[in-house]
Amino acid sequence: MTETNLCSAEFKERLLKVYSENEIEFQMKRYLDLAKKFNDDFGTSSCLRFFSSPGRTEICGNHTDHNNGKVLAAAIDLDAVACVKARTDTIINAHSEGYSPVTVDFSNTDVVDDEAGKSSALIRGICARFLQLGYKVGGFDAVITSRVLSGSGLSSSAAYEVLIGTILNYLYNDGKISPVVIAQISQYSENVYFKKPCGLLDQTACSVGGFVEIDFKDTSAPVIEKSVFDLKNFGHLLCIVDTGGNHADLTDDYAAIRSEMNAVANFFNKSVLREVDESDVIKNLASIREKTGDRALLRALHFYGENKRVEKMSAALKNGDFETFKRIILESGRSSYMYNQNCFTSKKPHEQPVSLALCLAEKFLDGEGAFRVHGGGFAGTVQIFLPEEKAESFVSSMSAVFGKNSCYILNIRSIGGCEI
C-alpha cells in the first residue's frame, strides 16, 4: 500500500470498521504520517501493511485473573498501530515513537536476562512461543505509534504485545490464530521473557475486543462472553483520570499481590485461589493468618469478593440494571482500597495520587456516578462512570489538580487486534 492508497475511499472504509466516523479524518492523517515515517526509516515501499491493537479498561475483577478468577473488561478506542513490511530473514526491527529503535534476531529464542523489562524481550518471547506452538514466524520492519498511555492502567504493554502477535499472525499465518491464543502467547512472553508475572486479563481484552466477561478457571481455554452495553443509553460516560503516577518501578508491588494470593492457596496445597473454596479459607482464618500474614489473607478475601461481584455485574448488564452496576463498581473500588491495597505503594507513602483522585471523585460526583481504582493500581489511573451533565465541571475540577490533559473520555471498541 502506498501513501496515495491511504487517502482512498477504500482505505477509509477499512478504517470505519475500527474507528468511529467522527475520528476518520484524524485517523487517516495518523496512518499517513506513520507511512511517511516508515519510508523515512526504512526506505520507500509500496508493500506496506497496517495493524492495530486497542488498549483496555477493566470494569470489574481487579487482580483476579492471575489466580484464575473472573473479570469484566472492555477494549477501548485508544490503540497502538503499526506500519509494517515483511522481511525475508530472521530480523525484526521495531521503531516505536518516543522510544529507541529495537532490533531482535529471533534465530535466538533463548531467554536473555539482560532484556528483562524491555520491549525486545516481548518480541523475542512472542516469536519463541509461536515456534513452540508450531506456528510460523518471519522478519519484518515496523514503525509503531500508540495512543495507549504508558503507565495509565489502559494496558499499553498488552496492546504492544497483541500488536506484535497480530502482525505475525497475519504476515505469516494467514490470520488463522485465534485472538485467545494471541493473548496467551502475549502473556507467556511477558511472564517468561519480560519477567513480569501478569495474568491473562489485559491481553485477552485487547486481543478479543468489545465488552467481555472472561472466566479464567481454565487458563488454557478461558470462557469468554461478549456483551452489548452502551453507557450513553444510561446518560453516563466512561472517564479515565491519569493521576500522573508511573508504573515503572512497581513490578515487585504487583508481583506481591499474586504471590500473596498464591501463598493462601499454597496453604491448601493448591497453586491458585480458584482451586480453593472460600468456605475453607473462612474455616482456617487463624491458621492462614499465622502462616501468610494479614495482608495475604485480606487479598485472598478480596479475590473471592471480586469473583462474586463480576457475576452480579454481568447479570446487571444483561438486565439493563445500571443502578446495580454502579453500586458494584463502588464496592469493587472499596475492596481494592481496603483489602487488596493497591492504591498506593508503601515505598512512597507520601505519594498517593490515586487515593487523592478517588477522594476528589467522591466529592465532585456528590453521590452520583461511580468510581474505582483502575488496572494494576499503585499509580496511574482511576475509572469514573460520569453523568453526562456533570462531565464538563468534573473534567475541569480534576484537570485543575492533575493537569490539563489528565481526563480521557473513552468509547468501547468492538474489534480487538486486527489488520486494517
Q: Using an 8 Å Cβ cutoff, are 248 and 400 in contact?
A: no
**What are 189's three cell numbers?**
512472553
Tell me the pTM: 0.84
Domain boundaries, the chain: 5-228+414-419, 231-410
The distance between the two most distant Cα atoms of the chain, rounded to a whole number of Å, is 70
Query: Residue 45: its pLDDT value, please?
Result: 86
Strand-pair partners of 419: 51
* Residue ranges with strand state E in 139-297: 140-146, 211-215, 223-227, 236-242
Query: Residue 244: its pLDDT value, please?
Result: 84
Q: Which segments of the chain have a pLDDT < 70?
A: 1-4, 151-153, 246-248
Query: Residue 198: its pLDDT value, please?
Result: 80
**What are 166's three cell numbers?**
497480530
Buried b or exposed e, range 363-373, using 16+ CB within 10 angstroms: ebbeeebbbbb
Residues 6+ apart with CB under 8 A from 330: 370, 371, 372
Fold for 231-410, please state it: Alpha-Beta Plaits (3.30.70)
State the DSSP code for 107.
Answer: T
d(CA 242, CA 149): 9
Query: Residue 280: its pLDDT value, please?
Result: 98
Pick the CATH number of 5-228+414-419 from 3.30.1490.100, 3.30.230.10, 3.30.450.20, 3.30.390.30: 3.30.230.10
Q: Is there a shared CATH topology between the 5-228+414-419 domain and the 231-410 domain?
A: no
Query: Residue 346: its pLDDT value, please?
Result: 87
Whole-angstrom CA distances from 204 to 161, 354, 383 are: 11, 25, 20
